[in-house]
Amino acid sequence: MSTLIAPERPITRRTLLGAGLALTALLAACGTDEAREAAGGGDDAYPRTVTDGAGVDVVIPTRPRRIACGQNVWDLDAVLALGVAPVQMGLRDFAEYTGSPTVSWPWHEQALRGLGDAGADVQRLPVGEEPDIEAIAASRPDLIIGDTFIGDARDTLTPLAPVLQVASFDWRQNLRIVGDALDLRAEADELIEQTDRTIAAALADRDLAGATVGVFAVYDTTAFYVFGDATIPTVDLFQRAGFSLVEDLVAAATPEEPRVEYSIEEIGRLAPADVLLVVDYSAGAAASTELAGLSLYAQLPAVQAGRVVVVPQGELAQGLSVFGPLNVQLGLDLVTRAADTLA
């Protein structure tokens, strides 16, 4: 269940701060065919083979110039962060939060505006239960990028163009995968280093060693899903800030399965956490509201001390799932909110 993450009170829709502002120039610099040619020294860099997020070796015969992003999740973030405008992007309907079914998240829209006419001309394809093969074919792609939604249709889509499946959550890995595919690996590595420096600088004054955080998601009150591996950007950020995780709950997490499901009757195992971060993917934050009324949850030390940050579905929840260079400030703001509960 790969859903995406908004705070219990609205966070300001900031423009790209810190790393984001510095990246704007890089996005513009990489966003043209000329820049892509210069980055790889022309078409001599192709054909090339790239191992994608599913471990599949994908042969890319020629330099991609018509990229279709099947989702607006990890695929689109990586492509836009490298300053490349796809010809087509999948668009999930979050109109309740974005204001329009044809509008994506603010960091996507800003990146697209920064790419000028190429960004404005991107076709926006509504995402349904299955990939719209005919619509994707109509865009005449020479590379199709997406998560498992696209990867599961690889056999059907491959006759149209090579299919590159990105990894879930891990923005660094995705930049490397897409960078390799687009002959922009040096730019991807630079972007990762620059973003990591921004994160380190923002967290440098945090002394949270010894504090423990419990990060989990709820969809209803039958189960909770612990975020337990640093491939999930939220976990990575909290660990970089000095927080520890609840070892008893994260032991089963792996990079391949970074979220661990527990029955709600086991919610008491979060007792060692000094701070709780609750990501509520239910409509209207109904799950976290109902959770607050459960005695097992109410007895948790962090709950009794008021050290709980609830993130209902919306811009921040989605942004944390696809956290990366384009929206780095969202995650840093969340760490600050959690740390402030310990003050």
State the first-to-last Cα distance of the chain, in angstroms, to the nearest integer: 34
Inside any domain, residue 9: no
Q: Residue 42's pLDDT band (boundaries 50, 70, 90)?
A: low
Residues 162 and 229 in one domain: no
Is the backbone of residue 42 left (phi > 0), alpha (psi -120 to 50) or beta? left
Q: Is residue 283 part of a domain?
A: yes
Question: Facing residues of 124 across strands?
Answer: 89
Calculate the CA 338 to chain-centre distance.
20
| Residue 205 belongs to some domain of the structure | no
Q: Which of 200, 233, 250 is the last residue in one of the domains? A: 200
Within a domain: 2: no
- The reply to whether 170 and 35 lie within a common domain is yes
Q: Over range 165-191, report the average pLDDT.
A: 96
pTM for the model: 0.85
CATH number at 124 reads 3.40.50.1980
Same structural domain for residues 126 and 66? Answer: yes
Q: How much of the chain exceeds pLDDT 70, in percent?
A: 88
Q: Looking at 173, 200, 227, which one is the last position of a domain?
A: 200
Q: What is the mean pLDDT of the chain?
A: 87
Q: Which of 171, 200, 229 corresponds to the end of one domain?
A: 200
Residues 72 and 188 in one domain: yes
Mean pLDDT in residue range 316-321: 84
In the predicted model, what is the mean pLDDT of residues 45-63?
A: 97
Whether residue 112 is contained in a domain is answered as yes
Domain that holds residue 299: 212-340
- Is there a single domain that holds both residue 237 and residue 139? no
- 263 and 188 in a common domain: no
At residue 36, does pLDDT exceed 80?
no
In the predicted structure, residue 299 carries a pLDDT above the cut 70: yes
Q: Do 281 and 142 share a structural domain?
A: no
| Same domain, yes or no: 193 and 259 | no
Q: How confident is the model at residue 30 (pLDDT cuts 50, 70, 90)?
A: very low
Angle at 340 between CA 317 and CA 224, to 5 degrees: 40
The per-residue pLDDT for 20 is 44
3-state secondary structure the chain: CCCCCCCCCCCCCCCCCCHHHHHHHHHHHHCCHHHHHHHHCHHHHCCEEEECCCCCEEEECCCCCCEEECCCCHHHHHHHHCCCCCCEEEECCCHHHHCCCCCCCHHHHHHHHHCHHHHHCCEEEECCCCCCHHHHHHCCCCEEEECHHHHCCHHHHCCCCCEEECCCCCHHHHHHHHHHHCCCHHHHHHHHHHHHHHHHHHHCCCCCCCCEEEEEEECCCCEEEEECCCCCHHHHHHHHCCCEECHHHHCCCCCCCCEEEEEHHHHHHHCCCCEEEEEECCHHHHHHHHHCCCHHHHCCHHHHCCCEEEEECCHHHHHHHCCCHHHHHHHHHHHHHHHHCCC
